[in-house]
Amino acid sequence: MGNLTGKTALVTGASRGIGRAIAEKLGYAGALVAVHYATGADAAAEVAESIEKDGGRAFTVKAELGVPGDVDVLFEGLERGLKERTGATDLDILVNNAGVMAMGAPEEVTPEMFDRMMAVNAKAPFFIVQRALSVMPDGGRIINVSSGLTRVASPDQVTYGMSKGALEQIALHFSRHLGSRRITVNSVAPGSTDNGSALFQIPEVRETLSQLSTFGEVAEPAAIADVVAFLASEDARWITGAFIDASGGTLLG
């Protein structure tokens, strides 16, 4: 498409699933993409290679999120990669996609589980945004991948839902804070999306998850990537602070 030609982007958790689809979509649209991963170097390299095979540009950045020093490690790798390829460290598009999930009854949640999900899903994105603002030009884009579980009850995922609810507050408050710089900040909430997990290969499970959507299907990651790419484009310049329901109608009630 080329509507992001000349832009730079960072996608966290981009080695598989929704993150991979987003990274590939932004690369196809012309952006230079930093493919972040915590583990799975080979998978991340495969994503970068797929972008470059399609005529785009990409590089990988390793950083474990949710641990002390995570943002420093992430941005050291990001800025080094950008500098090598563009001569500058400007970051035009930030997609906070990385996240962790643990399922279990509320009575089974431990302090360690709770802290881990909050650290990766809410704390890390906040400080990534904070750090990104020092290298993001006016008119930049910040997109946070949330979840439909902030709007529907699923007791065995209460902590995950809480962490994503906290993530959504970044769009609400930072969009007002950054309006004068024309930096937009938005949340995208997928529903059941095939992230490559073996769970989606079980016919009975897939059928159950399919019925959550008004379309009667499980989403493919590309469907979410298309929404993110739109928000990253100039076409979405007048959308900020928004919660975008990309759940395929799961949240209709």
d(CA 61, CA 8): 14
39 has binding-site annotation:
yes
Token pair for 190 = 């997928």
Q: Is 28 one of the annotated active-site residues of the chain?
A: no
213 has binding-site annotation:
no
97 has binding-site annotation:
yes
Burial of 108 from C-beta contacts in 10 A (0-12 / 13-18 / 19+): exposed
38 has binding-site annotation:
yes
Task: Return all residues near 18 (Cβ < 8 A) that are at least 6 apart.
Answer: 97, 145, 190, 193, 195, 221, 224, 225
Single out the catalytic residue among 160, 161, 163, 219.
160
18 has binding-site annotation:
yes
176 has binding-site annotation:
no
160 has binding-site annotation:
yes
CB 82, CB 88: distance < 8 Å: yes
Cα 151 → chain centroid: 18
28 has binding-site annotation:
no
* Residues in the annotated binding site for NADP(+): 15-16, 18, 38-40, 64-65, 97, 99, 116, 160, 164, 193, 195
* Residues in the annotated binding site: 15-16, 18, 38-40, 64-65, 97, 99, 116, 160, 164, 193, 195
Catalytic residues: 160
